[in-house]
């Protein structure tokens, strides 16, 4: 059972997503809120597996919410689900630790698939968003740091950049999932990031691999 927490200032949209998930086998809605003012406490109390996060909300917005949550929790998966295709919003969300970025106009089955994907270690994005991310980081100057990654850590990071889940990384490199997780924890620490998507973004930006 994948438990999901919703943050969106549109009650109608929250109800629509909640209904979609309640009618889909394997999902449970842990809670629903119109802003992120209590996000840290919500996550600690409700212990969701995945968070669907809007950006433009009254009070603490979605970017604020990602920042606050990541200060206390590095494991919960966060998907931005928003109308914004703005480069800065995309960059900020990924930089602060979002695991995926979807547009609200996505089909219901695409949203369900994205939740499953991020739960299994993926980094779901709409094709248009992925294109912007690649263009954004391609336009940046390459960095000169390698961050002290070992050869095996670089192989794991390269596999993540290729879009592989933890299971796929383990199979491709012929190592256990626990070993993959250990390498990923080390990668996060060395790159000073809190999520797979942020690690991938930094790998592309600084040409680490």
- What is the pLDDT confidence band of residue 11, given thresholds at 50, 70 and 90? very high
**Which structure tokens are listed for 145?**
């740091």
Helix (H, G, I), strand (E, B) or coil at 55: coil
All structural domains of the chain with their residue ranges: 2-137, 142-205
Model-level pTM greater than 0.85? no
What is the rounded distance in angstroms from the CA atom of residue 207 to the CA atom of residue 209?
6
Q: What is the pLDDT of residues 90-117, one digit of tens each?
A: 888 888 899 999 999 999 999 999 999 9
Q: What is the pLDDT of residues 116-151, one digit of tens each?
A: 999 999 989 998 888 887 777 666 655 556 688 998
Tell me which H or E stretch contains 89.
Answer: helix 87-95
Considering the chain, what is the average pLDDT of its residues? 89
Report DSSP letters for 140-158, one per residue.
SPPP---TT--HHHHHHHH
Give me the percent of the chain exceeding a pLDDT of 70.
95
Q: Nearest 5°: phi and psi at 164?
A: -80, 145
CATH topology assigned to domain 142-205: Arc Repressor Mutant, subunit A (1.10.10)
Question: Which pLDDT score is estimated for 165?
Answer: 87
Question: Which pLDDT score is estimated for 104?
Answer: 93
Strand partners, 78: 51
Do 20 and 112 meet the contact criterion of CB atoms below 8 Å apart?
A: yes
What is the rounded distance in angstroms from the CA atom of residue 203 to the CA atom of residue 140?
12
What is the rounded distance in angstroms from the CA atom of residue 99 to the CA atom of residue 78?
5
With tokens 């930089």, the residue in question is: 95
What is the rounded distance in angstroms from the CA atom of residue 43 to the CA atom of residue 23?
23
Q: What is the pLDDT of residues 54-78, one digit of tens each?
A: 999 998 899 999 999 998 898 999 9
Question: Which pLDDT score is estimated for 162?
Answer: 82
Do 24 and 3 meet the contact criterion of CB atoms below 8 Å apart?
A: no
What is the rounded distance in angstroms from the CA atom of residue 173 to the CA atom of residue 114?
25
Q: Nearest 5°: phi and psi at 101?
A: -145, 110
Neighbouring CB atoms inside 10 A of 54's CB total: 24
CATH superfamily of 2-137: Response regulator (3.40.50.2300)
Same fold, 2-137 and 142-205: no
Q: What is the pLDDT of residues 161-198, one digit of tens each?
A: 888 888 999 999 999 999 999 999 999 999 988 888 88
């Amino acid at each position: 059972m994948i438990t999901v927490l919703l943050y969106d200032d549109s009650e109608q949209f929250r109800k629509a997503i909640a209904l979609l998930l309640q009618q889909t086998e394997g999902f449970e809605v842990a809670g629903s809120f119109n802003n992120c003012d209590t996000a840290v406490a919500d996550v600690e109390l409700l212990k969701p597996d995945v968070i669907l996060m809007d950006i433009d909300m009254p009070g603490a917005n979605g970017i604020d919410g990602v920042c606050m949550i990541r200060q206390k929790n590095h494991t919960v998966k966060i998907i931005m689900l928003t109308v914004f295709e703005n480069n800065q919003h995309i960059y900020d969300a990924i930089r602060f630790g979002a695991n995926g970025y979807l547009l609200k106009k996505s089909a219901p089955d695409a949203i369900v698939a994205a939740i499953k994907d991020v739960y299994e270690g993926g980094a779901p994005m709409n094709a248009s968003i992925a294109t912007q991310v690649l263009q954004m980081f391609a336009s940046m100057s390459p960095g000169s740091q390698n961050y002290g990654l070992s050869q095996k850590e670089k192989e794991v990071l390269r596999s993540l950049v290729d879009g592989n889940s933890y299971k796929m990384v383990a199979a491709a490199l012929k190592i256990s999932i626990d070993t993959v997780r250990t390498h990923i924890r080390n990668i996060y620490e060395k790159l000073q990031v809190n999520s797979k998507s942020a690690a991938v973004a930094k790998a592309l930006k600084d040409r680490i691999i």
